[in-house]
Amino acid sequence: MKLVAALTAATLLATAGVASAAPARQGAVQEIIDQLTASGGALGIQARINGRDTVRSGVAELGSRKPVPHNGTFRIGSVTKPFVSTVVLQLAGEGKLGLDAPVVRYLPGLVDDRITVRQLLQHTSGLHNYTDSMPLDPAGFPSIRFRTWKPQELLAIATSKPLDFEPGTSWNYSNTNYVVAGLLVEEVTGRPFQQAVEQRIIKPLRLKDTVLPRNSVEVPGPHAHGYFPDASGKPVDVTRLNPSWGGAAGEMISTTRDLDTFLTALLAGKLLKPVQQRELTKTTTVSPGYGLGIAVASLPCGTKVYGHDGQIHGYGTMMVGTPDGKRLELSLTEAADGGTPGDGYSRLLDQVFC
């Protein structure tokens, strides 16, 4: 598995096209995702469109005919980041931290003293991406699949490298930023970031199928299995893995229904105060496509969409929507033959929305 190293506009835009369909043509969606599973672009897919029932395709397990479960659980990878950024923004709204304050004000000596809280959330800190220096490839992944990692260990990997650039001068997607954000939440609230997310977002929104697994290797509830090739290219069932190396950057598990509830509340301003809501989606010349934990893109049709994608061994996720309530949550399990969705997202955009 690998977390997303960078968000590409092409991927985000393509998926977002379905999110903006009004009403989404479920028949067209079904046809395209059926083509994706048939071609090896994914083993199984589920998509939730504008809050409606999930559209599914493919199978839940290699070698079986068992269908992808309705509203099944899955690892969401970097879609964890909007949950963490929301908590940080809530703390800012409560006056417990400042977005433009240096991180070292709260965590002395942890990172370069020029790096601000905002730069963490916007990926403009310059911190090296620790996952680029981990054995997450087919040959190396088995050696760490079940290892428990502490956030300080992950940060140590990153800080052993020089900054990629001077803080605030460029943009680079770095999971390290959100490991630090998780430590920041812990310092300010006095509890692990997982508890803060649970108490501030999961419980109020009643996201009953969303969990922060810490170092648990299980995926609870009905779920499709995820696969990842071994060194010889043979698919291996990696559904069970220790996600602690993802931590605040990518450890969470959820469902399309829960992600739909979360994204709807977030974009409608129900989780943040007005000032922080504006900060959430504010982009800059340095970061034109990414706000504070949320990617921002304009479709060829002119619609602006907001969301995030995520990857972790065996699973891929997309969560995209608009403030007026149109949205898409999509999960796919990695194809056994190592295939990719290819232009499937683009075809969804062209056929269903634009």
What's the pLDDT tens digit per position in 330-343? 898 976 554 555 56
Predicted local distance difference test score (pLDDT) of residue 354: 56
What domains are defined for the chain?
Answer: 21-353 (3.40.710.10)
Q: What are the residue numbers of the active site?
A: 78
Task: Identify whether the C-beta of residue 12 lies closer than 8 Å to the C-beta of residue 346.
Answer: no
Predicted local distance difference test score (pLDDT) of residue 246: 97
Predicted local distance difference test score (pLDDT) of residue 344: 67
Q: Which residues of the chain have pLDDT under 70?
A: 1-25, 335-354
Predicted local distance difference test score (pLDDT) of residue 26: 72
Predicted local distance difference test score (pLDDT) of residue 50: 79
Predicted local distance difference test score (pLDDT) of residue 303: 78
